[in-house]
Amino acid sequence: MNSLVAAYPSWRRVLEILPPNVVVVDDEGVICHVAESVAELTRHTSEELRGLDVRSWAPTWHLDARDVTSDARKVLATRLLDRHAIDLKDRDAQRRAVDAFFLPLALEGKAWIVAAMFDGEALRHESAREVREREVESRLHAAGVVAELEERFRHAFDDNMAPMMMTDLDDCILAVNNAFCQMIGWTREELMGRDSTSFTYPEDLGISEVTHHRLTSEEVSQARYTKRYLHKDGRVVIVEISKSTARDVRGNKLYFVISERDVTEERMLSAQLSHQALHDPLTGLANRAVFEDRLSLAHARVRRLGGLGAVLLIDLDDFKGVNDMHGHLVGDQLLKDIAERLEQETRSSDTLCRFGGDEFLYLAEGLNSSDEAEFLALRLLEVLAKPMTIAATQLEVHASIGVVIWDGDTVDHSEIVRNADSAMYEAKRRGKGHHVVFTPSLQQQAVSRFALTQELRHALSVGQLTMHYQPILDLATLKVVGFEALMRWQHPERGAVPPNVFITLAEQSSLILELGILALRESVTAASQWTPADPHAAPPFVTVNLSSRQFRDPELVPSIVASLMESGLDPERLVIEITESTTLLDIAETLSVIEQLNRLGIGIALDDFGTGYSSLSYLTLLRPKIIKIDQSFVSPPHPNVQNDTLLETIVSLGQKLNMTVLAEGIETEPQLQRLRELGCHLGQGYLFTPAVPQEEALRLVGQTMATEKKASSFSKK
Ligand code: C2E
Ligand code: CA
Ligand code: CA
């Protein structure tokens, strides 16, 4: 092969077009190619001349490629096609005049000068010369065009954004471009002459082989495939490859042109996106979509293979409290830790997912008996009940679990989740930290819950809801100093529906807002009528319970103001009862509402104190006027020393913080005695009386209440 072509392949096609008698000189003035016929003019061989400085052979050579060819386009514009007479030195240093036609070229990123040379003597005849000149001229011109094309192609290849490679029919690399080198971290020199196996991901070697075989043996001339490379630094690069066969005019295969696209990031991103679509970003657990898919698969399997499946709906008890008390970061970490704990308990055949918020779903397959599902529920409850430490805070979290066990006969799998929900609801109702297995009667309850809501709506509109008032006594004097307003629903067929039932129902819809307004208006109006016989005695206050939902209602404060105005009640006589869970929803919002109420002169009572999370910190934040000690401390089912100490602590805490302490649910004389000893200010309970209608309340205003007889009759109820 021509040595010029060997070093610079682009020269191949240019030389084919140039006139035969040419000399090629590079940008350093070195002779790179001499036609044998030209060498013979000076009685040299081309071998002897190659590598020489051109001026040592052609002393009058006047062109320097560097001067004229810095830019390929400029070169063509200033192409020197004129004939020049120059001298060449022959073997004996004799000068010999020749005619030369010059063509500067840019090829392979270098500048060159081509000179076509003729024996001056041979062009004696004017006409012969003209013919000769025109032929040379057109050949040089064509070569210039081809060189430009070659150069453009080389640029297009070298500087192409797409990684490209050319290989011979054995897949050995002939050329690679810059983008390719960059993509896999190897230099052009390192890659030349190799095949791609050295940087192909081992598992993907087969892919290359198969396509190579198809391209060489079959009549396809293009193949597209994806494979992985190993970057020099060891990371994996995923590439989309388009490999095509270059052929000559007769259709013979010459080499392969391979264009590639680095799709690593794209693939990673789409993998990430599909992971995101299927997973909960916080805990990394599968999400609802995955769960539903797995459930329908599991369902189909159970139908085919028999056995039982179970769905456990795990709902954390009072997670909101943790979240708002300790901040979202702690809340999030808690969810992550819980997810981790649950995951450790998840068998490989089962699926755990986060169902949203603080709900998790566990799908168990291949169970032999319903006992297995219950054991599983118990184990999960046990695992969750272990205290956790997050950001130096010790948290104790419990959960309620609704369990649904199903077999191949169960048809509707969305019903499975609904039933798990009913069972979970029942578990919560039974007092948290429990599990309940779904039974059809629970479904009945779910249905009746719905019916009851409808009836409650009706009750509200026809005035079946009324307020009763439970006296609050000064424990030192046993005088009635206030009343707690409690709502009553006298259902025409069902009888009295407990507020725990209908308030909870109402809280699940905006019905609670209407109920709340009713309670406020009625209580405030009732209180405005409570006037003690003794004109020096202070008229009693009324405490009204508020649901958390009402606290977020922008109409709350305006509607309280309106009720106060209508009734003329002194705002100082109104106390709003809130529970810790109300305040936990959004502490900033709660505080701002409380501040508005305080400014109006309305006090706050913190209800059910002692049952929440953070009793102490809340006290200092909310600064309630009254602390209501929860009944579970006042009349514990199994009195013990520990409980008594707690009671004592709460009372003295209230005293220290200058808050009025009120004991709820006093049922027995000894409980009353103990509270008096501790110095608890106020109390209410069946020992004195349950809530009574307004007519009765009016009678009790300013009264001193007897206890002894009633103690036994009420506590038996
Ligand atoms: P709560 O605010 O803790 O109300 C005290 C509950 O304890 C009342 O139950 C009351 O009748 C009961 N109770 C009073 N003394 C004793 C006692 O000595 N022993 C026992 N075992 N219980 C006693 P009730 O009226 O059934 O109300 C239950 C819950 O319903 C209330 O708990 C309150 O959270 C809610 N509620 C009642 N009325 C309203 C209302 O108008 N609005 C709102 N948002 N919630 C209300
Ligand atoms: Ca209350
Ligand atoms: Ca209470």
Summarised one tens digit per residue, pLDDT across range 625-678 is: 999 998 888 988 777 777 788 788 888 888 888 899 999 999 999 999 999 999
Selecting from 3.40.50.300, 3.30.565.10, 3.90.1150.200, 3.30.450.20, what CATH number does the domain 164-268 have? 3.30.450.20
Q: Is the pLDDT of residue 540 over 90?
A: yes
Distance (angstroms) between ligand 1 centre and the Cα of 243 equals 79
pLDDT for res 687: 95
Nearest ligand (C-alpha, residue 690): 1
CB-CB neighbours of 164 under 10 Å: 20
Does the beta carbon of 667 lie inside 6 Å of ligand 1? yes
**444 or 694: whose pLDDT is higher?**
694
pLDDT digits 0-9 by tens, 484-527: 999 999 988 888 888 988 998 898 788 999 999 999 999 999 99
Domain with residues 3-156, CATH architecture: 2-Layer Sandwich (3.30)
Instruction: Please give the Cα distance from 661 to 655 (Å, whole number).
Output: 7
Q: Is the pLDDT of residue 149 over 90?
A: no
Q: Which CATH class is domain 465-713?
A: alpha beta
Q: Distances in Å between the alpha carbon of 33 and those of 89, 108, 284?
A: 17, 16, 68
Q: Is 398 helix (H, G, I), strand (E, B) or coil?
A: coil
Distance (angstroms) between ligand 3 centre and the Cα of 706 equals 23
pLDDT for res 710: 44
Section 92-109 average pLDDT: 86
pLDDT digits 0-9 by tens, 284-318: 898 887 888 888 888 888 888 888 899 999 999 87
Lowest mean pLDDT among 239-243, 265-269, 598-602, 631-635: 265-269
* Token digits of residue 488: 């009553």
C-alpha closest to that of 449 among 490, 497, 514: 497
Looking at residue 202, the DSSP 8-state letter turns out to be G
DSSP 454-508: HHHHHHHHHT-EEEEEEEEEETTTTEEEEEEEEEEEEETTTEEEPHHHHHHHHHT
Which residues belong to CATH 3.30.70.270 in the chain? 279-438
Does the beta carbon of 331 lie inside 6 Å of ligand 1? no
pLDDT for res 71: 55
Lowest mean pLDDT among 98-102, 163-167, 540-544: 98-102
Phi-psi region of 658 (alpha: psi -120 to 50; beta: other; left: phi over 0): left
Q: Is the pLDDT of residue 205 over 90?
A: no
pLDDT digits 0-9 by tens, 354-374: 988 899 999 998 888 888 899
pLDDT cut 70: percent of the chain above it: 91
Among 507, 549, 664, the mutation site with the greatest number of ligand 1 atoms within 8 A of its Cβ is 664
pLDDT for res 516: 95
CB-CB neighbours of 457 under 10 Å: 13
pLDDT for res 690: 96
* Token digits of residue 424: 């979970």
pLDDT for res 74: 53
Nearest ligand (C-alpha, residue 499): 1
Give CATH superfamily name and number for 279-438.
Answer: Reverse transcriptase/Diguanylate cyclase domain (3.30.70.270)
Confidence band, pLDDT 50/70/90 cuts, at residue 157:
confident
pLDDT for res 355: 86
Q: Can you say whether the dihedral through the CA atoms of 566, 570, 571, 576 is positive or negative?
A: negative
Instruction: At 156, give phi and psi (nearest 5°).
Output: -60, -35
Confidence band, pLDDT 50/70/90 cuts, at residue 73:
very low
Lowest mean pLDDT among 351-365, 420-434, 468-482: 420-434
* Token digits of residue 426: 């029942």
**480 or 217: whose pLDDT is higher?**
480
Q: Is the pLDDT of residue 682 over 90?
A: yes
Residue 573 CB contacts under 8 Å (≥ 6 apart), including other chains: 527, 539, 540, 541, 542
pLDDT for res 714: 43
Instruction: Please give the Cα distance from 614 to 587 (Å, whole number).
Output: 13
Q: Is 330 helix (H, G, I), strand (E, B) or coil?
A: helix
Q: Is 309 helix (H, G, I), strand (E, B) or coil?
A: strand
* Average confidence score pLDDT of the chain: 86
The residue contributing the CA closest to ligand 1 atom 15 is 685
Please report the atom of ligand 1 found closest to the CA of residue 486: 38
Name the most confidently modeled range: 162-171, 287-296, 580-589, 647-656: 162-171
Which residues belong to CATH 3.30.450.20 in the chain? 3-156, 164-268
Section 232-238 average pLDDT: 90
Distance (angstroms) between ligand 2 centre and the Cα of 545 equals 5
Distance (angstroms) between ligand 3 centre and the Cα of 609 equals 8
Which residues belong to CATH 3.20.20.450 in the chain? 465-713
**How much of the chain is helix, strand and coil, in % rounded to 5?**
45, 25, 30
**528 or 621: whose pLDDT is higher?**
528
Lowest mean pLDDT among 245-249, 473-477, 554-558: 245-249
pLDDT for res 701: 95
Does the beta carbon of 522 lie inside 6 Å of ligand 1? no
Instruction: Please give the Cα distance from 8 to 174 (Å, whole number).
Output: 12
pLDDT for res 711: 42
pLDDT for res 31: 94
Does the beta carbon of 690 lie inside 6 Å of ligand 1? yes
Q: Is the pLDDT of residue 586 over 80?
A: no
Lowest mean pLDDT among 120-129, 388-397, 438-447, 535-544: 120-129
pLDDT for res 1: 64
Q: Is the pLDDT of residue 273 over 80?
A: no
pLDDT for res 465: 96
pLDDT for res 642: 72
With beta carbons less than 8 A apart as the criterion, state whether 654 and 679 touch. Answer: no
Section 217-246 average pLDDT: 88
Among 473, 484, 490, 503, the mutation site with the greatest number of ligand 1 atoms within 8 A of its Cβ is 503
